[in-house]
């Protein structure tokens, strides 16, 4: 693994850990850049990766939250 790939993997683990530790966490892109000291390019790449794997989703207000938190649960047994 290249050093840059290692850094990316470590950032992904760190960000996932923060969101797992605090399920209600919602951060905008500027807040993420400030909190983790990320440059715009790295921040965009990390967010894109976490959205692509459906770990994060963007709210209407522009914040990023865990994709599995706050969504209505569909009960497939209803109506059976």
Domain boundaries, given as residue ranges, for the chain: 3-66
Match domain 3-66 to its CATH number in 1.10.10, 3.30.70, 1.10.3470, 3.90.350.
1.10.10
Would you call 55 helix, strand, or coil by DSSP?
Answer: coil
Q: Rounded to an integer, what distance in angstroms lies between the CA atom of residue 78 and that of residue 51? A: 30
Instruction: List all residues 6 or more positions away from 19 whose beta carbon is below 8 Å from its beta carbon.
Output: 25, 55, 56, 65, 66
- Work out the pLDDT band at 7, boundaries 50, 70, 90: confident
Q: Can you give the pLDDT at residue 60?
A: 94
User: pTM of the predicted model, to two decimals?
Assistant: 0.80
Mean pLDDT, range 29-53, rounded to an integer: 95
Percentages helix, strand, coil for the chain, rounded to the nearest 5? 50, 10, 40
Q: Is the pLDDT of residue 56 over 60?
A: yes
Q: Can you give the pLDDT at residue 2?
A: 40
The DSSP 8-state label assigned to residue 59 in this structure reads -
């Amino acid at each position: 693994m290249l050093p840059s790939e290692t850094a990316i993997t470590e950032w992904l683990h760190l960000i996932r850990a923060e969101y797992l530790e605090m399920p209600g966490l919602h951060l905008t892109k500027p807040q993420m850049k400030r909190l983790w000291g990320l440059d715009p390019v790295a921040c965009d790449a990390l967010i894109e990766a976490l959205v692509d794997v459906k770990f994060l989703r963007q709210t209407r207000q522009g914040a990023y939250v865990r994709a599995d938190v706050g969504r209505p649960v569909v009960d497939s047994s209803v109506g059976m």
